[in-house]
Amino acid sequence: MNLEDVFVTEGVPQFTFVRPPNFSQLLVDVRRAGMPVIVEGQSGTGKTTTVKQVLLEIYPDNVPKLLSPREPQDLPLIDEINISSGPNIFIIDDFHRLNDTSKRRIADLAKVIAERDDRSNLPKLVIIGINNVGSDLIQLVPDVAKRIGIHRIAPGTRDSITQLINAGCDHLNITISPIEEIVNESRGDYWLTQQICRTVCLSVGVDRTQENKRDITWNSSLVNQLVVEKLHHNYDPAVKEFCRGRRFRPTNDPYYKLLRAVSEQESSNVDLNELANSRPEIKGSINNVKDHRLKVLLEQKEMCSRLFYYDPETKGFAIEDPALFYYLRNLDWDSLRQRCGFRNAEEDYEFDIAISFAGENRDFANFLVDSLKNLDISVFYDRHYEDNYLGGPWSKYFQEIFAQRSRLVVALLDQYHKEKLWPTFERDCFALRIPNGEVIPVFLDDTLFPGIPMDLVSIKYQFNGNLEEEKNSIMQNVVLRIVSKLDSI
């Protein structure tokens, strides 16, 4: 036998297919006329492969075609499915990739079919999608739940992954050791197991069944590198998109640091609070994004949201695709950093900007904060962090934030800033940073400040007090100049 027919990475494995425990239940529901069926599970669990095997056993002479939103030519065919489509079977793969309108239409159709007593002349729907596609569809049409078959394909167990490897080895007349390392690396992903085993064989020149029994000891570093190269085109665009954030800046690398730290964990499900506390050298970067920025990134970048999950309430970050986690664990992160265009820097900041102002200018400050956040810039703004510091002294936190934990300080300077107690304290905190160019003074009037030279390059903006009238002017003359400074660091 040829290697590619044994360890299969495209199509249905003939010799190394491992039936999931609920295979028979799924087969019965797919065979049942008209009953809509949903097959869900995380990437790599073999959902599509299992459905194909079920179809092969039910329709050995005429296996129905799978339709997928990934294929442009399939979209019109999916749109044409309706109650009058006759007793044909329609398998919709990657259901989660359909637009909301198409999802609801298919969900409504499933409901109509499920409610009929006589379904002999109605279309049969089999829907395949990632985790929770069944519950998501039920949310679209709540009363359909009891009338459809929902089957979750779970990741492979250690026994089933071992069974797959041993079956392939038997057909190729080889043994692979250590087999346990492949089991651990695959994390229950059948496709990844097939890919690693295939790469192991190729790395030692085995491309077909051996005449004499052959024992293979594999070089994990070499094999991991080869598999990562194979996975590169699948994951690199989304990984780079994630690492570069919503708006690229050469110093805007907290997403990169977070993802690299996650890749170094034993589990692909991570509590970001715990991760930040366990990694003091990048604690600032993790805190920089975990409260707001990470949620917005995944909301705005669909490419990233398909691969990464984040719950801003629990601070739980998850990579559900074992092949992606394998890719990240074995990735050359220094090379990725260069390809992202980040500068090398030892400093780690919790905030890009800390804003110092007097209470009389809060509306102005609030507009700056919102504008900078919309440009994916993290800002320390007292109102947003009061709950974090309840029970502690502001003086201690302000000292740390304005002196150390922010990349730059933006100070809204006027007579109020000079006269008020807290703004004066903040100036004392960031005074030593002024000669280093780490403070951006925004003069709102002509008040003189000891320690801030008049010839210091600064922003001068005469605010008339009407924020609505001046928003465009503030954006052009203040916000974008601050952003330009960040870009140049």
Is 145 a residue whose pLDDT tops 70?
no
Domain ranges of the chain: 19-152, 158-225, 231-340, 351-488
| pLDDT of the residue at 390 | 46
| pLDDT of the residue at 387 | 46
**154-208 pLDDT, tens per residue?**
888 999 999 999 999 999 999 999 999 999 999 888 999 999 999 999 999 999 9
Is 129 a residue whose pLDDT tops 70?
yes
Looking up tokens 């990470």, which residue turns up?
Answer: 294
User: What residues does 411 pair with on adjacent strands?
Assistant: 356, 441
| pLDDT of the residue at 149 | 85
| pLDDT of the residue at 132 | 60
**335-353 pLDDT, tens per residue?**
999 999 998 877 889 899 9
Greater confidence (397 vs 123) lies with 123
Is 11 a residue whose pLDDT tops 50?
yes
- The single-letter DSSP state of residue 2 is B
CB 295 within 8 A of CB 310: yes
| pLDDT of the residue at 135 | 57
**249-296 pLDDT, tens per residue?**
888 899 999 999 999 998 888 999 999 999 999 999 999 899 889 999
Q: Which of 3, 16, 14 is nearest to 202 (CA)?
A: 3
Which band of pLDDT confidence, cut at 50, 70 and 90, is reported for residue 386? very low
Is 391 a residue whose pLDDT tops 80?
no
Residue 262, SS3 per DSSP: helix
Determine which of 130-139, 369-378, 453-462 has the lowest per-residue pLDDT on average. 130-139
What's the whole-number mean pLDDT along residues 315-332?
92
What is the rounded distance in angstroms from the CA atom of residue 457 to the CA atom of residue 478? 13
Torsion angle (degrees, nearest 10) of CA 404, 409, 415, 420: -30
- How do beta strands 66-67 and 459-460 pair? unpaired
Which band of pLDDT confidence, cut at 50, 70 and 90, is reported for residue 143? low
The fraction of the chain above a pLDDT of 70, given in percent, is 94
| pLDDT of the residue at 382 | 76
CA separation, residue 271 to residues 277, 317, 318, 472 (Å):
10, 6, 9, 40
CB 26 within 8 A of CB 39: yes
Was domain 351-488 assigned CATH 3.40.50.10140?
yes
Domains 19-152 and 351-488 share a fold: yes
What's the whole-number mean pLDDT along residues 84-90?
92
CATH fold for domain 19-152: Rossmann fold (3.40.50)
Which band of pLDDT confidence, cut at 50, 70 and 90, is reported for residue 134? low
| pLDDT of the residue at 77 | 94
CB 197 within 8 A of CB 7: yes
Alpha helices (runs of H) in 392-466, residue ranges in sequence order: 394-400, 415-419, 421-430
What is the rounded distance in angstroms from the CA atom of residue 361 to the CA atom of residue 123? 65
What is the rounded distance in angstroms from the CA atom of residue 325 to the CA atom of residue 331? 10
What is the rounded distance in angstroms from the CA atom of residue 68 to the CA atom of residue 87? 20
What's the whole-number mean pLDDT along residues 235-243?
96
CA atoms within 13 A on the CB side of 436: 11
| pLDDT of the residue at 138 | 59
| pLDDT of the residue at 139 | 61
Mean pLDDT of the chain: 89
Assigned token pair, 403: 């002196």
Residue 44, SS3 per DSSP: coil
Is 302 a residue whose pLDDT tops 80?
yes
What is the rounded distance in angstroms from the CA atom of residue 414 to the CA atom of residue 430? 16
What radius of gyration do the chain's Cα atoms show? 29
- How do beta strands 351-356 and 214-217 pair? unpaired
What's the whole-number mean pLDDT along residues 423-448?
92
CA separation, residue 305 to residues 246, 276, 300 (Å):
13, 22, 8
**101-114 pLDDT, tens per residue?**
888 888 888 888 88
What's the whole-number mean pLDDT along residues 51-63?
92
